[in-house]
Every structure is written in C-alpha cells, then in structure tokens.
Structure 1
C-alpha cells in the first residue's frame, strides 16, 4: 500500500470552518469512510466533507485553536489505511484510460490539424492538471515531469509525440498497477476463505446459518469439498483434509475424533462434526489474514531509502530538462529528458519483489509479516533458539523414576501426577501420561500453586507436595537432595531433565525426562551456517550437563542454561547491544519479550497466541526446515531488490544521456523508459518466486 502525500495547503478558512487542499485527497483510492471517521475522532470536529475532484476537504469544528491544530496535524501525517486497498481485493485496475488515450492517438491520424490539436490538448488535461496540482501541494514529483514533457511537445505542435508519450505513461501506469494488484491478490487469496453459510447441528438437526452467526461451542458440520470455517476439536466422523493453505503440506491428512482442525483447510473426502473453539475474527484463517493485511502496508529500510533517492533525483531531472530548454530553446531534447525518471522502477519494483517473495514463503507454510521482517530474516547473523518446542518436539517423556527414603516408585509418581494434574504444561502432561501407563491411582490434591519455571506446590492428605527442578526444591525450599546426587549426575550426563518430588520437606524421588530432539534439527543448524549465519545460540532452563550434551549433539556454538523466563529477553538485549543482528525462535508465552526484543522474532506453529502475535515470522508447520526456506526466500528477494536498484540507475542514466545528447526523440525515450520499467517488474516477479528444495512439512499423527 502506498503512503499518502502529506503536503497541505489551507485553501480557505473562517472561524469554525477550514478548507484544506492536498494531492492525496484526490486519490481515487482514498477511503472516504475511514478518512471521515479518522477526523471525527478528533474532539471538536462537527462535520467533514471530502471533494475528491478538487483534492480538498472541508471541516467544520467548534472554532477552538487547539482543534484546528489537531486537524492539520492529523492530515499532515495520515495513516496508510486512509488509502483503501479495496481496489486490490475486489477488481483489477481500470483499462478504460488506456483505451481512451490509444483511441485518441489513432483518431489524430485522420483529423485536420486544428481538430488534432484540440483532441490532443483535451486528452492531456488529466496529466497536465495532475502535474499542476502536484507542484503546488507536493513539490516537484514524477507527475510534474510527465506534465511538463507532454506540455512541451504540445507547444511544439508535435501531437503524435504528445499522444504517444501520454499512451506510454497511461499504459505503463496500468501495467504497474495490475502487477501490484496481482501480487497483493495472491497473498490475500491464500488466507481469505470465502464462506458465507455454515451447517450447524442444533438440537440434533442440521441447520444452515450465516458464518458470522457461529458461536463458540457450536457443532459445525462439514462435508466433501467444503472449507472448514472454524478452529476446533473433531467430535464425530472422519475425513481426509487438505491443509496446504495453512501448513504448506502437499498431502492430505487423515482426521479422526479427538484431532484438531483449523479454519481455511478443505475436506477432500469424508465428513466431520467440529466443536467450534475459535470463530470469526479469532479463527486461524482470519488472524493470518490480519497478518497479511498488515504486511502489505509495511516497507523495508531498503524500500524507504530507494523511494527517498528517487524523490531526490526527480528535481535534478526536471532542472536538467528546463536548463536545456533555457540554453538551447530545444523543446524536443527537453521533452526527451523529462520523460526519463528513476522513480517508477525504484518505487514499484521493490514492493512487487517483496510481495512475490512473501507469497512464495506463504506457499511454503511461512507467514512473513511485512517487508521489514523479510529484510531482517535475510540480514540476521545470529539465530537464537529457545530449546523446548523449537529444537525439541516440546513433548517430553518420563524415562527414569527413582525412589528415595523408603518411598516407592508408584507413590512418587502418584503424588507428582496429583500435583501436576491441574496444569497443561508439557511436563505435567508427561507425568500424567506415565501415571496412566503404569495404572497408578491419583490421590486428590488441593491448594495447587504453579510457580513459573520452578515447579508445583500442592497439598495431598494435608501434606505439602513439591514437584520441580533442583533450584526450586533444594535451594528455594531447602530440601536435602544429597541422596540423589550420583543418580542426578548420571541422568544429566545422558541429556535428561530432572524433576524432584518431595513431601513435607523430605525428598521422595527423582524423575528423569527427555524431550525428543527434532530429527531435522542438526541439519537445519548446519544449513543456516551455510547461508551466512555466523552464530547459533540456544537458551534453556535445563541443568548445565543436560544443556552441554545437547550442544555437543547438535553442534551449537553457544548455549545458556538454568535460565528463568525473564533471563531470555535480557540475554537477547545484551547480544543486540554487542552489535549482533538477531533472529529469535520461540513458542511459549514467556518467549514473547525475547521475540519482541530481537531484530526479528520467529514463532513455531504450536506456539502460544501471544508468541505468534509478538513474532514477525510465523511458521505454519512443524518442520525447522521452514526456517531455512524463510532465510533462502529473504536473501533471494533482497538480492533482487539490490539488483533492481543498480539496473534502474544504470539503464535510466543511459537513456538520460541519450536524451541529453539529442540521440533519441521524446517518443523513443518514453518507450525505452517505460519498457525498462516493465521489464524489471517481470524480472522481479520471476526472480523472487522461490520453491523449497525439500518438503517443508511433517505430517502430524
């Protein structure tokens, strides 16, 4: 989405009424409703009337000076949302103007000179008026160059040249708009499910209701070929579900009762009854759509710098053309110079390349939230992983159970499971799973208290039960754990995480848990190094020996152990202060501060909602190779953007040189300039389309 020009002129003013003129107010894509609501939000504003034809707006207010200042400030810095993107979504750019100008050009061949001149001036009115309006509201911009070039050729009565340049400009603008429209449309269509009606089972009867009327807890029924409209749990039925739009996974997944499904996926075969857990704006596809809409508005640093350079070069080109006219009185050469500008390619090709790259990433199951995020993934020299749920599966299993002080394994496991039963974190699930597999009965636990990154305290039969790590049990609660030292050393050397169980201040037992390392983890870290990443760092709450065992197995450069949640963001902050450009990969609620602190945050698909909202990149499938693909896409796009910059400057400088020396006519100059811009747009689309070298998805069972 382009940014609105913000240079204003107060055309007329009386107490309580002000009329403001600005070129952006005449933009056909200004969202009138948004603009009026934006200004009505200012206290004291009574009425707003927009006149797009005059590029002006009239605002009635209470007359207070402070309200006037707020109105002017609001219009000087309007948000990008004021320029509606609806034209990108609903219909392509209008080809009518191209037909109009082209028809006029053909008609001039069959008209006498007086009529030919009248028609040519008439067709040039939109370009000339826009140029005049721009010079008064925004200064010397591309529109001024175009208007001056056509004006000079009309004054020379070279009507063929004037109409040809007009046709080139109109056709070039149309091609640029259609290319951007298609880039945006591709991204939006990925995650904008078109579901208007939904079948819901009410009192045992299937009833057709509007999608927006579905509520949490409703039983939604979906059949073959239908798009799943909600996130939820499958209660009945079975189906083969195509999840490619969300995860990038090419093969359908078999879904059965107890499985979870997300909106935006399609049932290929079968029938499901789904209990809705997330509906409407909170469903997966809707949330991803918001990410996409936000991403289309953001600009990378290199885009901003290129646009600024293009704006600086326009006055130079204008001055050169006017200077040549003043010295030589040669309207032809001046017109040739004025048809050349650097702005088109510098401003338009980069966004198209970036959106094409984002589309490639989305097809690979990666949501990149805007150009700055894509640029940051390409630039990151250090990748930091929070171990659990990223390098590991995030689903630990109990591997060892050791009882001490006359306790039994069943007793230790039963009390630990009873204390953990109220919570859903991975360790609690692992302990409960082990208790079920051993058929251990669970006593009732009360007054359960979860201490983040430490453990759990609960009361069973009036006895306090503690379950947690060494720091919590031995140091905070001062339980004597010396009897378990040798066993603990052995288990840590095997790379296992340890959890101690105590009753009334006395150690009862020790549990060893192991979180399975993702099979692709070691290869992914190696591939990141091959793509320019200098350091791979891992953060974990594990004990030193467990952490070091992981580092040896995966070839990690640096690992921090025994960390509390608040330590992660502090470490990221210190590394940034040292000059590293950081990418942080995490999935938990306590990763959100680190995700925000890093230069770019990457969230795993099963991550907490807060982590996904905090991250700039969201993976949609459970495969670390997606990170490598995101890096590959980002680097490719940044390479295209840089190449575009060099080619734009080089090609347009050559055309400008030919124009200054009188080697090319205004028509040829316009054809060369617009042709090179169109060619670079095609190059950007082609070169930024990247496909993953390997399947970046793992089927979940």
Structure 2
C-alpha cells in the first residue's frame, strides 16, 4: 500500500502544481528574485501566448474543459479508493462511479481507435487493465490506472498548440474605425460598418482598410506585406490599392470594391483556413513508439496465457509502460517549452521540437525578416552647386512630422550627421506623391521625381542617370527641390538586421549549410543581400503563391525545410514548410500560422533554437529509456520468475519516477541565460 501511496503522491504533484499556479504568479510579482522555470506551466510562455492569441488563457476550449473535468474525477476517485483501503473501507465504494466513468471513457477511446480509425493503441491495454482490476475488486489499482490515463490526456493537451485558433483573422491589427465620405463630409465609422461602394479616406501613415480604386489624390504606398517588394509604389487616380497596405505619403480617396473577407489579404487567410495542415496531426514520437509496442505485447500475452494463466497474462499487460513514457516525455517537452520562452522563443506546439532535428535547409524571406522595416540612407546625390548637407537638411525638415519608414530613415541619418533642422511653416504644408513645405521663406518639395515632374520642375541628365541606376537596382529615391530646381536625390537601401550575418554563420557551424532567400523584391537588391550574407541561392520577384510552390519543390527534392517569414505573402509558404518561424512584430497572419515566434524581433535566438532541437532529441530518448527499462524487467519477471500483480505494479512506477526525474533536468540545465 505504501507503493500505491507513492504513486498517488507522484501523480498528485501535477494537481498541486495547478492549484498553486495563481499563488506562484503573485509571489513572483512581489519578489525581486530571478524568474524560475516552472515545470508544467510557465508565466513567461503564458504571457507570450496571450500576446499572439488574446483570450487564449481567459477561457477554455471544450476539449480543455473536458480534460480538466476528467482529471479531477480520476484523481478524486483514486484518492477515495486509496483512503478506503487504508482508512475506512466504505470510502472505496464512493470511488466506484468515477472509476467506472473513466473506464468507459477509456473503452470508448479504444473503440474509436480500433474500429473507426483502424489503429491499435495503448488505450486497448489500459482498458483491459482497468476492466480486470474492477472485476477482481482492485479499486486502488483501478483508480491509479484511470489517474494515469487522465494525466496523460492533460499533458498531451498542454503541449499541443495552445494558441491555435479556428479562424486566422488578417484584420486583428486594423484600427477599430475608418474615415469615409458621406454626402461630401468626412466622418468616422466603425471598421466593421465599412461596405462595398463606400469612399474611404486614408492619409500618410494610415493603413488601407479595403481593396479598391483611388478616385482622388495620390500617394506612395508600401505594399511589402502583400508583395514582399521593398520599394514603395506611387499610385494616383484610377490605380488599384489593397487592404492592409500602408500609405507612406500623400492622401487618397478610395472607392472600395472589396471589404472584409472579400479582400485579397483575407482571401489568403481563407486559403489557410481551408487547408488542412498535416503539422497539426503530428503525434508525439513517444506516443507513436508506445502504440507500436501494443501488438507485440498482445502476442506475448497470448503465448503466455496457456502457461501463466489469465492473471499471468494480465501481469504482462500491467508491466507495460503504457502512458508512463508519454507522461514523462510530455513533462520534458513542457520544460523545454518554458525554457525556450525564457530565452525569447515562443514554441506554440511541443511537437515542433521533434521536427527541428530533421531540418537541413533554411529558407529566409528577405524583406522584414533579413532586413529591417526601416531602410537607411545609402548615398546623397547632389546637383552642381549644392552640398549633401543642404539636401539632407531640407529633406529632413520636410519629413520631420512624418512617421513612415522612409521619413524615419532620413531623419535618423540627419540625426547621425548632427544636422540642425530649420522650422517649417505649417500654412504651406501640402501632401501628394511628396511634400510641399515652406522653409525659411523658400518652397521645398520632397518626394519622387515623378512628383517633381508633375510640379513642372525640370530634371537634369545627371539626376536621370542616377534614377536609371537605382531603378535597375530596385532602390528607392527621394528627390529634393528648392524653388524650381532639383538640388539632389537621396538613395535608400534595405538594412540587414543587426547580427544576421553572425547568426547565419552560426547555423552553418551547426551543419545547416543549405540556405535560400525568397523575395518578392527586385533581383538586384535580393542578390546583393544574398552576397552580403554568403547565401548562394535566392529567388527574386516571387509572388505569394509561388513561395509555397518553391518550398514544395525543395521538399520534393528530399529537403526538410524551415521557412522564416513575416508577411501575409509568406503565410502559405509558412504553412507548407516542415518548420515555420516568424518574428514578433510581423503581420498577424504570419505569427498565427508560424509554429515558432522569435520574441526579440531579430534572428539572434535562431542558433540557440536549433541547439535546443538537437539536445531535445537525445534528452527525450534518455527519458523514455528510464521509463521503459523497468517495464521490460517487469515483463521478464512475469515470464521467468512468475512475479505477481504487486511487483508488476511497482517496477513500472519506479520507471515513471526515474523518467520524470530525467525529464526535469532541463529546468536546471537550461535556466535562463544571462
């Protein structure tokens, strides 16, 4: 009976952890001690999941609620059965309804797996165990068996994708309200009230809420979230625009043609929602291995039955490790999940660790993943008689109140060059493809060369040559005019994320030498980025649907792909890849689809992530071995030494204790790095 109590205490640790969770959160807030890694749950991981799936932790799904209810019933029944055995016999009868309920639940699982899914699983052995114990009056053993069954289901539920939603919503980051023109007057309405045919008004820094056509105005628009193209696109009356793209400069009136779920962006999400991802059906390797041992165990029981009798055959079934290996390995997975979160990596699904080890090829999206959202000033080309300082001073003054990436790049460069900005006269401020402002009594125009041409300003041959060169390279230009003359142009280029070259080199050191870049941008800037990072293979000017096709093609060549992307245009490729990674701050669709999110907005943790994948594989093998070996000893004892039910119960529990102890090692080994 001491053995049974030890089993109760071991399983009870999990229940105790859940009961003390809220107290632990409060204690952490009230103390200044370093954060610890909790073995089953983790505040850091919970907070990360909440960020990407608000409400995930506020309510439970039907499956989660059922799992929790069943575990409560099972643990209570086990406690009553044990109490009835050692304290007051009638208490054991109170455990009977709960044990019977959980036993029929186990039988239903067996029926579904065996007859409907045509799968032989460990549920069959577990159900046979429970029925035998009940028929022979071993309520304590039956109670322990249903407790293992319920804890196993709870842990498997916990390591699944906690943030998975039934619907991917592209508009989660959309502002709650939009401005529309009603009877010639601009008024604000709720985003959900926007209808096809409405005329929407969007200014600089605003996000376009629907697909449509510009009916008035002009603007420079950043479409990289859909197309992956770095360079902004200038659009005027009659041009088509798309939801979720960003107006960098100008002000436009849009006749909406498609709203809500009819937009191009939403249609991409619809494809994702209607596509069954095989990654959601991945079974924990330990669970799969356990199921494969069921048939040999049944065959062995059948062979032993004539010699050992029914009890001897049940002893063999009882010796099987059943759910113990899955429980121990699940605890190991939870420790790795929480360790990853403490190191800035959100792993949505514990099964992903098992996929990381097989990755041999990493494919990067360029814009927003390898490069920063904000470009940098590469060079200032000046007209004769003007200096770079003068061009930069006027450009920065005009852009001072703009918030789009190009404006921020110019202002950052002016700050780095310690340029003192003059005051801008607000009364002369105009928006179009560019800006028109009054500075120190002079008219300054900043924008594209097309904008200056529309303003009637002549463009010199030298500036035309610069324009041709930058166009060929896919680099944006910002032109600056003083009065009626172009005084210079500012050449911009993508900025590689800090440390990216080092992190990619570290991946090579870990044996991942096959790398690709996929980009919707022009070939020249894509080729330049690839050369700077030492990546031999790249695909440029790629459409969103082509990205997924390229991933599938690489997979057909036998490659196991990890794809890293941040845009809506990457989402289908993210789902196609074996392992998918996005970056905090990426589009909501990308972070919804990705299995892994790098929380510090860089690729810094990428090498550590793959290290964890390699370590995880070896660690789980040790955990499983610790559980399985005592069970094998017990089976041998049943056949050759004719051990009884008590001994066949003891040895597997020792394996469970050893496996859990081994599974807890990451809590110490992978403490938060400083």
After TM superposition, list the pairs within 5 Å mapping 1:630-645 onto structure 2: 630-644=609-623
Cα separation, 2, equivalents of 1:395 and 1:519? 12
- For the 8 Å contact 2:375–2:409, the answer to whether it is kept is yes
The alpha carbon displacement at 1:669 in A equals 0.9
Q: 8 Å contact 2:130–2:145 — kept in the other structure? A: no
1:448 alignment partner in structure 2: 433
Task: Report the equivalent of 2:477.
Answer: 499
| Matching residue of 2:283 | 303
Q: 1:621 maps to which residue?
A: 600
Structure 1 residue corresponding to 2:375, chosen from 387, 390, 396:
396
Q: Which moved more, 1:418-427 or 1:634-643?
A: 418-427
Q: Residue 96 in 1 paired to residue 76 in 2?
A: yes
> Is 1:463 paired with 2:455?
yes
- Which whole-Å CA distance do the structure 2 matches of 1:508 and 1:567 have between them? 42
Measured in 2, the distance between the counterparts of 1:607 and 1:397 equals 20
CA contact (8 A) 1:366 1:626 kept: yes
Does residue 672 of the first structure (1) align with residue 651 of the second (2)?
A: yes
Quickly say closer, same or farther: Cα 1:629–1:347, change in 2 above 3 A. Answer: same
Q: Does 1:527 find its partner at 2:539?
A: no
1:330 aligns with 2:309: yes
Given the alignment of the two structures, is residue 367 of structure 1 paired with residue 354 of structure 2, yes or no?
A: no
Q: Offset at 1:339?
A: 0.7
Instruction: Call closer, same or farther: CA 1:430–1:589 in 2, change over 3 Å.
Output: farther
Tell me: CA distance 1:422–1:537, structure 2 relative to 1, closer, same or farther (3 Å).
Answer: farther
Determine the structure 1 residue equivalent to 2:42. Answer: none
Per-residue deviation, residues 594-625 of structure 1 (Å, max 9, x unmatched): 43443333222232333323432222214422
Q: Give the match's secondary structure for 1:371.
A: coil
The alpha-carbon deviation at position 531 of structure 1 amounts to 2.6
TM-aligned CA distance change 1:552 to 1:646, over 3 Å: same
Question: Which range moves more in the overlay, 630-639 or 559-568?
Answer: 559-568
Q: Which moved more, 1:640-649 or 1:88-97?
A: 88-97
Counting only pairs closer than 5 Å after superposition, residues 259-274 of structure 1 correspond to structure 2 as none
What residue in structure 2 maps to residue 587 of structure 1? 566
Structure 1 residue aligned with 2:589? 610
Q: Which residue of 1 aligns with 2:578?
A: 599
Q: Is the 8 A contact 1:446 1:458 kept in 2?
A: no
Preserved CA contact (<8 Å) 1:405 1:507: no
The answer to whether the 8 A contact 1:604-1:620 is kept is yes
CA distance in 2, matches of 1:186, 1:561: 33
Q: Deviations over 1:639-665 (max 9, x none)?
A: 334445556555534432322234421
Aligned mates of 2:488, 2:505 — CA distance in 1: 39
Aligned to 1:4: none
Structure with bigger RCO (C-alpha 8 Å, 6+ apart): 2
Pairwise mapping of residues 131-150 of structure 1 onto structure 2 (< 5 A)?
A: 139=114, 142=122, 145-146=125-126, 148-149=128-129
Q: Greater shift after overlay, 579-588 or 309-318?
A: 309-318
- 2:635 aligned to 651, 656, 664, which one? 656
Whole-angstrom distance in 2 between the partners of 1:564 and 1:355? 38
Find the residue that maps to 1:523 and give its secondary structure: helix
Deviation at 1:668, TM superposition (A): 0.6
| CA distance, structure 1, for counterparts of residue 514 and residue 374 of structure 2 | 27
In structure 1, the residue corresponding to 2:323 is in which secondary structure?
A: helix
SS of the equivalent of 1:330 reads helix
- Runs of at least 5 residues in structure 1 that lack an aligned partner in the other structure: 1-79, 189-214, 217-296, 450-454, 467-472, 474-478, 696-701
**Residues 27-106 of structure 1 mapped to structure 2, 5 A cutoff:** 81-85=61-65, 95-106=75-86
> Does the CA-based 8 Å contact 1:354-1:688 persist in structure 2?
no
Please give the TM-score of this superposition, normalised by the length of structure 2: 0.55
* Structure 1 Cα separation of the partners of residues 672 and 98 of structure 2: 51
C-alpha distance in structure 1 between counterparts of 2:150 and 2:597, whole Å = 34
- Distance (Å, rounded) in 1 between the aligned partners of 2:279 and 2:363: 25
Contact 1:317 1:338 (C-alpha < 8 Å) held by counterparts:
yes
Deviation, structure 1 residue 402: 1.0
Post-superposition shift, 1:586? Answer: 3.2
SS in 2 for 1:400: strand
The aligned counterpart of 1:470 is: none
C-alpha spacing 1:520/1:547, structure 2 compared with 1 (3 Å): same
Measure the CA separation in 1 of the matches of 2:631 and 2:612: 28
Unaligned runs of 5+ residues in structure 2 are: 1-59, 115-119, 164-189, 192-276, 435-446
Residue 142 of structure 2 is matched in structure 1 by 166
| Alignment of structure 1 residues 190-269 onto 2, 5 Å | none
Alpha-carbon deviation of 1:679?
2.6
8 Å Cα contact 2:623/2:660 also seen in 1: no
2:346 partner SS: strand
Q: Is the 8 A contact 1:98 1:167 kept in 2?
A: yes
How has the CA–CA distance of structure 1 residues 307 and 566 changed in structure 2, closer, same or farther, with 3 Å as cutoff?
A: closer
Once the two structures are TM-superposed, the CA of residue 81 in structure 1 deviates from its matched residue by: 4.9
- Aligned 8 A contact 1:497 1:542 in 2: no
How many residues in Structure 1 have an aligned counterpart in Structure 2? 479
1:87-144 CA distance string (max 9 Å, x none) = 6599977643232222333369xx9xxx999999999866776676666665576565
> What is the aligned partner in structure 2 of residue 384 from structure 1?
363
1:661 counterpart SS class:
helix
Using the alignment, how far apart are the partners of 1:298 and 1:354 within structure 2?
Answer: 20
CA deviation profile, 1:290-318 (whole Å, cap 9, x unmatched): xxxxxxx9977763565355345435434
Q: Assess, with a 3 A threshold, how the Cα gap between structure 1 residues 534 and 643 changes in structure 2: closer, same or farther.
A: farther
Cα distance, 1:672 vs. partner?
1.2
Q: Per the alignment, do residues 606 and 571 of structure 1 end up closer, same or farther by CA in structure 2, a change over 3 Å counting? A: same
Q: Output the CA distance in 2 between the equivalents of 1:306 and 1:186.
A: 18
Distance 1:187 1:690 in 2: 25
